[in-house]
Amino acid sequence: MHKVIELAEKVKGWVLDILFPISSLPVGIKLNQTLFCPTCRARLPNNTKICHKKSQYKLGAASSYSDAKIRRLIWQLKYRGRTGNSVCLGILLTDYLKNLGINLKNYSVIPVPISKNREQKRGYNHAKLIAKIISGNFNLPLEEEMIFKNRETLPQAEVKDWEERKKNLKDCFSITDAAKVKNKNFIIVDDVFTSGATLNEIARVLKPGGFLIGIETLAHHPLANLKRRLNRRCGVRTDWAASHIMKINDFKTANQYFNAVEIRFFHFISLVAIPFQNLPGGSLFVKIMNNIDKIIFLLFPFLKRYGFKSVFILIKK
């Protein structure tokens, strides 16, 4: 029954598209005039100087999601099969980019990928439709297959907490051809910019070399495993994520792919001190316990894997 309603909605979308094709900008949508800092959302003067220098990209946002017209266009495009709306959104982004006056000569256009499953169900990737319009308007190459989603993730809109959003997308994108990415510039196209987690993750895989710092409780820790099982039951953690927790042996594998692998272990018995760390004398308590941990790890190295935090640094020179 659900399928029938879905199909009916799609057909309705097609019919509406044919009857009322949207090929020009609906009036009254206010266009932004600058690029933005993805970290703090500040407008960038001259579209060049960036306030948060560590940001991996500049954010282009044609308009605001608080505009009801924009919200409707996107919602219909994603959930009501109104693929014609992509033309309108594409024009909006084209006009915005033109107004910025940036030289886009050596850029390629990449749509943010959605999982194969979702694309099949929806019948299309909405970001791809918008990206097509932009690449056509500026005569730029469209790289549809450059990035793909290597696993299912929860829809970002369903994940409320910023940290969880980041986790939800961690390592979910892969690039098909690393050589193609070298010394290139990209316009990455998506419908909405929310936490920035998606773009941060894509920017990371597009950069060759570099290094990765991760913090994880290894799969040997019984308490962490209990929490993971609970998270899985309430759907916070996907099955993929639940079956891919780092074990100590994984660092041996990492050694094959990275020039330098460094791991540090924290919080074995000092875990009991963590709840007190913000109370008076708490930080001293944590410090003392941490030092005891150091001695324990030195005497009994096999206990390291039960540390509550493992910080690992992978470097590819």
Minimum CB distance to Zn ion, residue 174 (Å): 29
From residue 250, give the alpha-carbon distance in Å to each of 126, 145, 256.
37, 29, 10
Instruction: Between 55 and 310, name the residue whose CB sits nearer to Zn ion.
Output: 55
Site map for Zn ion, 45-84, x if CB under 5 A?
Answer: ------xx--------------------------------
Q: Which of 16, 25, 29, 37 binds Zn ion (CB under 5 A)?
A: 37
* Cβ atoms 297, 303 nearer than 8 A: yes
Write the binding mask 116 to 145 for Zn ion: x where contact by CB under 5 A, - elsewhere: ------------------------------
86 touches 14 (CB < 8 A): no
Give CA–CA dist 295/300, Å, rounded.
8
Piece of the chain touching Zn ion by CB under 5 A; list 31-39, 87-95, 142-150, 179-187? 31-39
Which stretch in 37-45, 95-103, 179-187, 197-205 sits in contact with Zn ion by CB under 5 A? 37-45
By the rule CB under 5 A, 40 interacts with Zn ion: yes
Q: Which of 35, 40, 44, 38 is nearest to 56 (CA)?
A: 38
The nearer residue to Zn ion, 42 or 104, going by C-beta atoms, is 42
Q: Which residue is nearest to Zn ion (CB)?
A: 37
- Identify which of residues 40 and 269 has a Cβ nearer to Zn ion in the complex: 40
- Under the criterion CB under 5 A, does residue 288 sit at the interface with Zn ion? no
Whichever of 37 and 154 has its CB closer to Zn ion, that residue is: 37
Tell me if 70 sits within 8 A of 64, measured CB to CB: yes
The burial of 5, by beta-carbon neighbours within 10 Å (0-12 exposed, 13-18 middle, 19 or more buried), is given as exposed
Kindly determine how many residues on this chain lie close enough to bind Zn ion according to the rule CB under 5 A.
6
**Residue 79, Cα to own-chain centre: how many angstroms?**
21
- Close Cβ partners of 27 (under 8 Å, ≥ 6 residues apart): none
* Least distance between Zn ion and beta carbon 314 (Å): 27
**N- to C-terminal Cα separation, the chain:** 55
Residues lying near Zn ion in the complex (CB under 5 A): 37, 39-40, 42, 51-52
